[in-house]
Structure 1
Amino acid sequence: AMAHVIVKEDLYNRDFVATRTEGFSQYVESLEEKTPEWAAVITGVPAADIRRAARTYAKAGAAAMYWGMGISQSTHGTDNTLTLTNLALMCGHVGRPGTGLNPLRGQNNVQGCSDAGGLPNVYTTYQPVTDDDVRRKFEETWMAPLSGEPGLTVTEMVDGILTGQVHGWYVMGENPLMSEPNLRHAQHAVEQLEFFVAQDIFFNETNVYADVILPAASFAEKDGTFTNSDRRVQRCRAAVQPPGIARADWAIISDLARRCVRRLGKSSDSVTKRADRLIDQWSYPDASAVWEEMRQVTPDFYGITYERLEREGGVHWPCPSSDHPGTPYLFAEDFPSGRGKFWPVDYGTESELPNDDYPFILSTGRVLYHWHGGTMTRVSALDAIWPECTVELHPHDAARLGLETGDWVDLTSRRGTITARLLVTGRSPEGTVFIPFHFAEAAANVLTDNRLDERAKIPDYKVCGVRISSATAFPDYDGANTSLTDRGTIKDPVPV
């Protein structure tokens, strides 16, 4: 609807659209019926506000978009992101200082993890596994054949366990039995694993099922690099030594790899010689050696050495040579395929919607004081501030149900039920329930749907149908008998 206004009022950047983009005319045709009035009915945002936002964004000399993970956590997450891309392209808010599209990552170094190839379909800096030349380069470096087929996402791995495609798990720094959708399904799958290794700094709900737990080092106990969301690579230095037998992730992986190679390399002399070479390759002296290997197979990292990071404090990739200054913003001159492409997007969803049995929409997210599955934040000081899960419900909905703040309720979806206390607040739109996903005692993902965005393979955490009823039994934990509004900062309005 914002794009509709920008086109109708001739506010788009004609020069940028003509010289840097393609597909604009088809995109404009798709906007004809997408008026602010149409969008107001769907979103509840007044048409006048939509028009004002469109004009403000289009007329700005430079404007940048920032969004959280909720944009992509639905069956139509890719389309959500494409609509934002279309807006930036039509206004020319790309490739200049103060502009751009900026998806905010969940925590520090998620960007660095992705850049290092921590995704199932790419190697470092998004070199596709399906590219024969790219794959050959990595095969030569790693001295091993590599598949040309993309791997599985975590949610796909869960299903793969039950179909016999996946037999073992090696989980590092993750708590899938809090973070995966449809938790009962995920738990059932994990129970079928033949072998499960967990590598982490804290014991969590998933580690209960592990056959082996390898104690790892925290960010303050290891050396390496972090990469910000703006692609700035920076050094990370250990402040203290890891406790006990805990070690840095790279050291654990290297040691395990060498042991595997020794076990597998005893069948013949030729295999033994190859095993010896692999053992040498896995004998990294420190984290900088791992970075150096990654740099050699990653053109975008060629110019970023540890020495340079120490000297300059941080470098933005792409940085293809030692004399390259780095790239603080992308697409200044062109796009990866030459021109930026407009994508017509239809309104609609494959998400699970409310019906008579499940009349409310459930959306999940965070409160200020905790993080995701709570592994890092369910500590006494933070629990004292926000100690339990709350079911946020609009006052009109609460009145219709005869419920009020502090009542224990059962929240039920097609997949399960959790019990928590109600927080009546105007922050939740009518017909919508919000709960945080930090609390194992009322785990939000017991309720969520495990259907995926077919392109991005991201689960639908933000929409499913639920019903609310007075609880028939109450949890037994410290504070459960204390008034909800006397616990920490839980009150309306909710602090932000």
Structure 2
Amino acid sequence: MTNSILDIEEADCILIIGSNTFEQHPLIARRIIKAKENGTKVIVIDPRYTHTAKQADKYLQLVPGSNTAMLNGIMHVIIKENLIDEEFIKNRTKNYEELKKTVEKYTPEYVSKITHVPAEDIEEVARMYASANAASLLYCMGITQFIHGVNNVKSCCNLAMITGNMGRPGTGVNPLRGQNNVQGACDMGALPNVYPGYQNVTATQEKFQEAWKTDLDPNPGFAIPDMLDEAGKKIKCLYVMGENPMVSDPDLNHVKHALGDLDLLIVQDLFLTETAQIADVVLPGVSWAEKDGTFSNTERRVQRVHKAVEPLEGAMVDWEIVKLIGEKMGHPELFEFNTPEEVFNEITSVTPQYAGMTYDRLGVDGLHWPCKTPEDPGTPILHKEKFLTADGLGVMFPIEYGDPAELPDAEYPMILTTGRVIFHYHTGTMTRRSKHLDEELSEGFIEIHPEDAKEMGIKDKQSVKATTRRGEVVVKARITPNIKRGVVFMPFHFAEAAANTLTNPAQDPNCKIPEYKVCAVKIEKA
């Protein structure tokens, strides 16, 4: 997030696109409610009429995968009606003229044909966002999980920059992270092309060789889809920590075959997940309540966590397991840590954004990175005076709309999109073991619009078969007007009715994220 969670309340307008915030980020949703109580206007753009959409002053129900067209259409109206922030564009950005030329053809009428949203609604949303003194844009995986996910994010940034909605309270482009400490994992270099602090593996190889006193490969590693494609070939062993790809990854039949081709599969987790069940070795980790350390949340706030209970007998803290394995592999000099604080001190020594942090400074509330010196109070809001680029200017990227990888056809006439529900979290590893949460929702479902269900002769709660080019799943129908006609929705929490058996592994070429949110599907009575 460019801004803090707290200053969402200071927005005059909040644009939520590709996020069911009220179900998936309820604490942030509380800030939105407080903002509404103070008169803030809320816009929601989503293929489903979610609990979040029901809170909106204006809701646009677009076709899944048409986000770039929608954002270009909104920018077209803002530019045409001269609602831009000319001073901000002139002094703080570059490439505006190129962007202006690109969005020229994205008239509301043209965009309406792509998104199926009325042209007048696109115009109204553009005026609402651009006329606000401070507008905050929130997005989640309904923006990123496409083959054009990076372009969708760039389009969000373009919209914020042409209206000057950056660097001030109540503004910004604010991605809501899908899991706790995902931000921290990325900060620590859990990406194939960077070391901690997003430092390029090739450009900073010497720095980290000196810091870690070992030789390092100057080439980027594999992203998860590439690992699975190379399983049994270039990849002989996979070490999975706190992840459940046998439920969470697309095209699960491919995932199962890939993991089966490995010489060795190691899983480190709290429970015997679907992935752990097929592993050669299972290492028992512990939960957040059983360890000390730090988490970095969606607003870049680094916070300490304190052990509340002792781990169960036989379970170990994750960093200690990694340390022991490293020592057994003959490199004890690389793992000379005895406490989580010592690990954190090493992190701050190589990560510029964390350089000014210590356990004492984190205290109770934590610090927002970047925090580069011991005197630095941290940075709740990014890009206040200038952008974090070489020349201090924000770069606008002209983006053309592109179709999803797989569109409906005669054989597979509908669009499948996936997501989460309020009662369960990710692959259900924890929440489905909670008696009360499981009582709320104990099985998967597929949402179908009443008109589509009527045409197919499908009744509510009837078992249906959903089929794509990758597999089929039998699941109960949930007939609801909250889903767009021609679109069906499945949550992916349920292994016995796994939505990701169906999803398309096609991926964004830049960041390698799969296109979970759109694929062609056929629905019929089971």
Q: TM-score, structure 1 length as denominator? A: 0.89
Equivalent position amino acid for 1:456 in 2: C
2:404–2:518 Cα contact (<8 Å) kept = no
Identity fraction in percent: 45
Q: How far is the alpha carbon of 1:42 from its aligned partner?
A: 2.1
**C-alpha separation in 1, matches of 2:431 and 2:473:** 21
**Structure 2 SS opposite 1:450:** strand
Equivalent position amino acid for 1:111 in 2: Q
1:146 is aligned to 2:204: no
Moved more, 114-123 or 1-10: 114-123
Name the structure 1 match of 2:340: 287
**Structure 1 SS opposite 2:308:** coil
Task: From 367, 370, 376, give the equivalent of 1:324.
Answer: 376
Q: How far is the alpha carbon of 1:296 from its aligned partner?
A: 0.7
Query: Cα deviation per residue 1:450-480 (whole Å; 9 max; x = unaligned)?
Result: 1101111100101111101111xxxxxxxxx
Query: Cα deviation per residue 1:22-58 (whole Å; 9 max; x = unaligned)?
Result: 1111110111110112222222322222112111211
2:247–2:495 Cα contact (<8 Å) kept = yes
Name the structure 1 match of 2:38: none
**C-alpha separation in 1, matches of 2:253 and 2:278:** 14
Query: Cα deviation per residue 1:75-122 (whole Å; 9 max; x = unaligned)?
Result: 111111111110011011111122111110012211111111111111
2:213–2:334 Cα contact (<8 Å) kept = no
Q: How far is the alpha carbon of 1:395 from its aligned partner?
A: 0.9
Q: How far is the alpha carbon of 1:315 from its aligned partner?
A: 1.0
1:445 is aligned to 2:474: no
Moved more, 333-342 or 120-129: 333-342
Q: How far is the alpha carbon of 1:251 from its aligned partner?
A: 0.7
1:340 is aligned to 2:412: no
Equivalent position amino acid for 1:147 in 2: D
Equivalent position amino acid for 1:159 in 2: D
1:256 is aligned to 2:336: no
Task: From 34, 53, 57, give the equivalent of 2:125.
Answer: 53
Task: From 293, 296, 302, give the equivalent of 1:233.
Answer: 302
Q: How far is the alpha carbon of 1:13 from its aligned partner?
A: 0.4
Query: Cα deviation per residue 1:343-401 (whole Å; 9 max; x = unaligned)?
Result: 11111224111110000110011111111211111123212111111111111111111
Q: How far is the alpha carbon of 1:130 from its aligned partner?
A: 2.2
Equivalent position amino acid for 1:23 in 2: N
Equivalent position amino acid for 2:346 in 1: E
Name the structure 2 match of 1:81: 153
1:470 is aligned to 2:525: yes
Unaligned 5+ runs, structure 2: 1-72
**C-alpha separation in 1, matches of 2:268 and 2:478:** 37
Q: How far is the alpha carbon of 1:281 from its aligned partner?
A: 3.9
**Structure 1 SS opposite 2:109:** helix
Regions of 4+ moved over 4 Å: none
Name the structure 2 match of 1:116: 188
Name the structure 1 match of 2:478: 423
**C-alpha separation in 2, matches of 1:36 and 1:383:** 44
**C-alpha separation in 1, matches of 2:244 and 2:103:** 42
Q: How far is the alpha carbon of 1:245 from its aligned partner?
A: 1.3
Say how many residue pairs are matched: 451
Task: From 409, 428, 443, give the equivalent of 2:464.
Answer: 409
Alignment RMSD, CA only?
A: 1.2
1:22 is aligned to 2:77: no
**C-alpha separation in 2, matches of 1:46 and 1:371:** 34
Name the structure 1 match of 2:17: none
Moved more, 425-434 or 46-55: 46-55
**C-alpha separation in 2, matches of 1:202 and 1:238:** 19
Equivalent position amino acid for 2:171 in 1: T
**C-alpha separation in 2, matches of 1:356 and 1:280:** 61
Unaligned 5+ runs, structure 1: 262-277, 472-496
Task: From 306, 310, 315, give the equivalent of 2:359.
Answer: 306
**C-alpha separation in 1, matches of 2:439 and 2:164:** 47
**C-alpha separation in 2, matches of 1:386 and 1:124:** 39
Equivalent position amino acid for 1:296 in 2: S
1:205 is aligned to 2:274: yes
1:349 is aligned to 2:403: yes
**C-alpha separation in 2, matches of 1:107 and 1:181:** 18
**Structure 1 SS opposite 2:78:** helix
Answer with 1 or 2: which has the greater Rg: 1
**Structure 1 SS opposite 2:197:** helix
